[in-house]
Amino acid sequence: MSKRRVIPGFGLSLGFTVIYLSLLILIPLAALFLKAAGVGWRGWLELLTNERVLAAAKLTFGASACAAALSTVTGLLVTWVLVRYRFPGRRLMDAMIDLPFALPTAVAGITLTAIYAPNGWIGAYLDRIGIKAAYSPLGIFLALTFIGFPFVVRTMQPVLEDFTRDTEEAAATLGAGRWTTFRRVVLPALMPALITGFTLAFARAIGEYGSVIFISGNLPYKTEILPLLIVSKLEEFNVPAAAVIASGMLIISFALLFCINLLQRWLNWQPR
């Protein structure tokens, strides 16, 4: 007697999955590369090696990596506090983590600009000591950190909640200090989740547009990001150039994410 399954058979489920993914991902990406292929390899080389494109790419990937790294470190600390401690306002703090998910990115950009502008609540004090937050790469970094931080916390939280304290207590009975226990026992177990959170925050930051355009100033060669450059090409009705830049951005992003996934898989294979 065959075992009953809750969902339909493999053939029907696989067919639906392939059609769904094709309509949402494969066909649009194929259309993007076909549009970009119209300029030829020489056109690709000229566009992707343009100084303006290189400056935007350096800022986009560099700021995204730095923002994801900061979100990973602070996200681990915040997750540890939310999971391991009980204090008044904990539920409110936990709910606030999801605010960047619900808040429109344009609203986030306007809010951050109002706060960190030279006449803003925080920007005014930073301006007095010679730090320019808004309309600078620092402002882009702040915006990308804001939108990427929840991904790290929500990735780490269930893992840390399921992590029992038995191994920590065993390490303590063997004479290990708190830092040694965290570094040798807790951190290796959390590392795959940390890498996943970093990957999600990094991927989200690369394609961010709404929250960055207000706080960056959008100055070519200085504070212009790749998504904004793509939109500028579209506004100039230069669709092939926009497609080439988007395709190059997609290839680099996929390569970076592939390397991060390989690192995560290698860590999973390491003996504990």
Pick the closest to residue 100 from 196, 201, 198 (CA basis): 201
pLDDT of 255 higher than 90: no
8 belongs to a structural domain: no
3-state SS of the chain is CCCCCCCCCHHHHHHHHHHHHHHHHHHHHHHHHHHHHCCHHHHHHHHHCCHHHHHHHHHHHHHHHHHHHHHHHHHHHHHHHHHHCCCCCHHHHHHHCCHHHHCCHHHHHHHHHHHHCCCCCCHHHHHHCCCCCCCCHHHHHHHHHHHHHHHHHHHHHHHHHHCCCHHHHHHHHCCCCHHHHHHHHHHHHHHHHHHHHHHHHHHHHHCCCHHHHHHHCCCCCCCCCHHHHHHHHHHCCCHHHHHHHHHHHHHHHHHHHHHHHHHHHHHHHCCC
pLDDT of 63 higher than 60: yes
Instruction: For residue 22, name the pLDDT band (cuts at 50, 70, 90).
Output: confident
256 touches 62 (CB < 8 A): no
Quick one: tokens of 158?
């269930």
0.75 surpassed by pTM = yes
219 belongs to a structural domain: yes
Instruction: For residue 60, name the pLDDT band (cuts at 50, 70, 90).
Output: very high
Quick one: tokens of 68?
């994801």
The span from the first CA to the last CA of the chain, in angstroms, equals 42
What lies within 8 Å, CB to CB, of 225 at 6+ separation is: 56, 59, 60, 63, 140, 208, 209, 212, 216
**What distance in Å separates the CA atoms of residue 141 and residue 144, rounded to the nearest whole number?**
5
Residue 15, number of CB atoms within 10 A of its CB: 12
130-184 confidence digits (pLDDT tens): 888 888 999 999 999 999 999 999 999 988 888 777 777 777 777 777 777 777 7
**Which CATH number do you get for residue 224?**
1.10.3720.10
**Residue 224 belongs to domain spanning:** 39-269
255 belongs to a structural domain: yes
What is the model's pLDDT at position 267?
Answer: 65
2-18 confidence digits (pLDDT tens): 556 666 667 777 888 88
pLDDT of 115 higher than 80: yes
Domains of the chain: total:
1
CA distances to 67, 104, 113, 126, 143 from 139, rounded to whole Å, are 11, 18, 8, 12, 6
Q: Which residue has the tokens 């000591």?
A: 129
18 belongs to a structural domain: no
223 belongs to a structural domain: yes
